[in-house]
Amino acid sequence: MSTCSQVRRITSVDEAVAIVREAAGSSSSMGRRGLTARGLGRSYGDPAQNSGGLTLDVTGLDKIISVDATGDADPVGGEPTVDLQAGVSLDTLMKVLLPFGLWIPVLPGTRQVTIGGAIGADVHGKNHHTQGSFGNHVRSLDLLTADGEIHHLTPGGDESDLFWATVGGMGLTGLVLRATVAVQRAETAYFTVDTDRVGGIDDLMTQMTARDADYTYSVAWFDAVTSGDRMGRAVLTLGNKATVDELPRTLRRQPLAFTAPSFGTVPPVFPNGMVNALTARAFSEFWYRKAPAHRVGEIQNITQFFHPLDIAQDWNRVYGPAGFLQYQFVVPFGAEDTFRQTLEVITSSGHYSCLNVLKRFGEANPAPLSFPTPGWTLTADFPIKPGLDALCRRLDELVLSVGGRLYLAKDSRMTAADLRQMYPRLDEFRAVRERVDPRGLFTSDQARRLEL
Amino acid sequence: MDAVGAPQTLLLLGGTSDIALAVARKYASAQPLKVILAARATERRSAAAAELEGLGCTVSEVDFSARASATHAQTIEECFADGDVDVAVVAFGILGEAEQAWTDADHALELAEINFVAPMHTGVLLAERMKAQRHGTIVALSSVAGERVRRSNFVYGSTKSGMDDFYTGLGYALDEFGVNVLVVRPGFVRSKMTEGLKAAPLATTPEQVAELTVAAVRTGKEQVWAPKLFQLVMIILKLVPRPIFRKLPF
């Protein structure tokens, strides 16, 4: 739906402070409609939109202040860290860190995400079951609150409740200006990957449960079009960071080299309805068949392993002007029957999703609005067409019936009442927000829609 | 308004109109929402509120009287007090007595005030709010009677003609603010407004008008006829030369 907002790009901390103070003291429409932080705009819904108000584009806060590659600043653990501004993208950071032999601990499905966004949505990756979400790796952050003050927050410090409300807080506690993030040592920019084709959903879930713990990274693509016995047939990929020894001779000379191949940009020529029964079936068949039935120890680069979609920019255009809706939920372990039922509902719905991901989450972190909780998470992309609202509501009901939840960074349509049920610690979050921003200066279309 | 086109808050100005309530029911059948019923404090309004609450909606009632223009600003303020309105339906109006309307000055004034002056006055107030929130849809219930006035009900037709033009222009003006205005032009609707009248050709029901309206809001259309065939019928009727048109038997 169309909305309008004024966007201002901020390039310095002083500028950010001045804008927040001005807006806080203003009774104009901009003051009333509040402020929203926006990074690279990769949320699927409205969390970085602010109709009628002011949207602050923070991508100008793009300085990497220091990299502690040796871990000197941490005499106990010797943990390497990077100190950087909130507008730096994970893509930039990754390219800066690799030559130091360092690796970002959590990478979501795209690298076009800012540090501020990664904290605000508490993003997760294929290693959630072993290493948690992004917030687990943030050692400190500077938060500009509605009163114009900057708080230096740590996970266990004086205002640890504000730190954890900011992690996963969708930008509603204030503006993240700067953060110190723990990073990992890496010998290479490659991964050793085991791939298996799995014939159906039950087998897939059994295999993931049995094998996940042996790998840092684990994820499955599954077929959400085919029903019957082969419902949920999947390609399971399990991987670890590769050591230099594991690389073939040709790659050993430059083990940390990274090139991002691009096949160019998808032009905006696709009409609606190109992702349909026919193309989705063909794609799903192809994607399943192209995967090896069983392969062990393949060396894959970053793009192959993490971001196969990044080789074509603006790939979303194949969905046409109507676009698509991303739906991601998690249901707790033990709710496998309900999980299977969601898949039955999807495959029999007449809505076709090609890019479907299944993953097991590990332990949650202390953030009250953080999405990942122990259980099964499913992601699907549906082209927008009539009846999709009814399908999503049916899925909501199933997810709610077993105490599951939807991901705020992907949500664009859930209701305030459902959110309250999904996030039982919402009041805790609201109390912190009420303390630091009683007028609700920091807000968003999503915050208004969901009464966050 | 969410990504699949479902509003969270619906405002019905003229909250007891059959078409307005059919719109509310249509939305509620998909997903419960907040509904603000702005109408005179009557039993009919309470009954409508109770019915919508039965469908899972959160309903608030606001007093609104079309001819009390001094109270309009207060009414609109109350309607927006709880937050943004995604869809506002301007649904109030009267059909009047056609022959009395052009011979009795008081009745003509009543029609003009309810069907034209009040929609324009509240329309400006609505526009101000929608402009500030920078999103939303205003639905104006016009009529095909306003597209080309006929001998049989030209007073009603002329009020609808003015109202239709105002909201059409308002849509142009609000476009840059992210606000859409949808003008709905039903033909003869079998409702409480037309009770006792003989149905005209292409007669429709409030439910059918509501269905077309909800679909048009979702796709961001600016005008819709109910039934759809009226668009074509009106194009033809507007081409009929006046000497012939005035003698047509309706």
Which one of B6, B135, B178 has the shortest CB-CB distance to A413? B6
Tens-digit pLDDT profile for residues A66-75: 999 998 888 7
Contact A405, A318 (CB under 8 A): no
Does domain A190-417 sit in CATH 3.30.70.2520?
yes
A334 vs A25, residue with greater confidence: A334
- A84's tokens: 């950087």
pLDDT of residue A180: 97
> Which chain B residue lies closest to A323 (C-alpha atoms)?
B3
Domain parsing of chain B, residue ranges: 9-245
Peptide bond preceding A271: is omega within 30 degrees of 0, i.e. cis?
no
Tens-digit pLDDT profile for residues A107-123: 998 899 999 999 999 99
Residues in chain B closer than 8 A to A29 (CB atoms): 132
Contact A372, A422 (CB under 8 A): no
- Hey, which residues 178-207 in chain B have their CB within 8 Å of chain A? 178, 180
Q: Which of A27, A49, A51, A55 best tests the B interface by mutation, with the highest count of B CBs <10 A?
A: A51
Is the minimum CB–CB distance between B3 and chain A shorter than 8 Å?
A: yes
- Rounded to 5 degrees, what angle do the CA atoms B138, B143, B148 make? 130
pLDDT of residue A206: 95
Is the minimum CB–CB distance between B219 and chain A shorter than 8 Å?
A: no
Q: Is the dihedral of CA A163, A167, A169, A174 positive or negative?
A: positive
Tens-digit pLDDT profile for residues A244-257: 999 999 999 999 99
Is the minimum CB–CB distance between B83 and chain A shorter than 8 Å?
A: yes
pLDDT of residue B248: 81
pLDDT of residue A272: 86
B53: closest CA of chain A, how far (Å): 15
Confirm whether B156 is a catalytic residue.
Answer: yes
A–B CB contacts, 8 A cutoff, strictly below? 66
CB atoms B132 and A412 under 8 Å: no
Whole-number Cα distances in Å, A291 to A91, A272, A356, B159, B203: 27, 29, 15, 68, 59
CA nearest to B21, candidates B51, B41, B43: B51
* One-letter identity of residue B42: T
Tens-digit pLDDT profile for residues A207-248: 999 999 999 999 999 999 988 888 889 999 999 999 999 999
- A392's tokens: 């999503």
**What's the whole-model pTM score?**
0.90
> Which chain B residue lies closest to A444 (C-alpha atoms)?
B133
Q: Once rounded to an integer, what is the mean pLDDT over residues A98-115?
A: 94
> Which band of pLDDT confidence, cut at 50, 70 and 90, is reported for residue A264?
confident
Residues in chain A closer than 8 A to B84 (CB atoms): 51, 448
Cα Rg of chain B (Å, integer): 17
Long-range contacts of A159-166 (CB under 8 A, 24+ apart): A161/A428, A161/A432, A162/A432, A162/A436, A164/A135, A164/A365, A164/A366, A164/A367, A164/A368, A165/A367, A165/A368, A165/A369, A165/A428, A165/A429, A165/A432, A165/A433, A166/A119, A166/A120, A166/A141
Residues in chain B closer than 8 A to A449 (CB atoms): 2, 8
Beta strands in B23-151 (DSSP E): 34-39, 58-63, 87-90, 136-141
Tens-digit pLDDT profile for residues A388-431: 999 999 999 999 999 999 999 999 999 999 999 999 999 999 99
Q: Is the pLDDT of residue A30 over 70?
A: no
Q: Once rounded to an integer, what is the mean pLDDT over residues A363-387?
A: 95
Locate all alpha helices (DSSP H) within A253-301, ordered by sequence: 277-290
Contact A233, A222 (CB under 8 A): yes
> Which band of pLDDT confidence, cut at 50, 70 and 90, is reported for residue A29?
low
A428: closest CA of chain B, how far (Å): 23
Is the minimum CB–CB distance between B221 and chain A shorter than 8 Å?
A: no
Domain parsing of chain A, residue ranges: 190-417
Q: Per-residue DSSP letters for A16-45?
A: HHHHHHHHHT--SHHHHH-EEEESS---SS
B76: closest CA of chain A, how far (Å): 17
> Which band of pLDDT confidence, cut at 50, 70 and 90, is reported for residue A90?
very high
* One-letter identity of residue B33: L
What residues contact A398, with CB distance under 8 A and at least 6 apart? A331, A338, A341, A342, A345, A404
CB atoms A412 and B84 under 8 Å: no
> Which chain A residue lies closest to B30 (C-alpha atoms)?
A390
CATH architecture of residue range(s) B9-245: 3-Layer(aba) Sandwich (3.40)
Residues in chain B closer than 8 A to A32 (CB atoms): 132
Is the minimum CB–CB distance between B58 and chain A shorter than 8 Å?
A: no
CA-to-CA distance for A39 and A56, rounded, in angstroms? 8
Q: What is the DSSP letter of B199?
A: P
- Rounded to 5 degrees, what angle do the CA atoms A178, A182, A187 make? 130
Q: Once rounded to an integer, what is the mean pLDDT over residues B96-118?
A: 96
> Which band of pLDDT confidence, cut at 50, 70 and 90, is reported for residue A1?
low
Burial of A308 from C-beta contacts in 10 A (0-12 / 13-18 / 19+): middle
- Residue with structure tokens 């990299």? A67
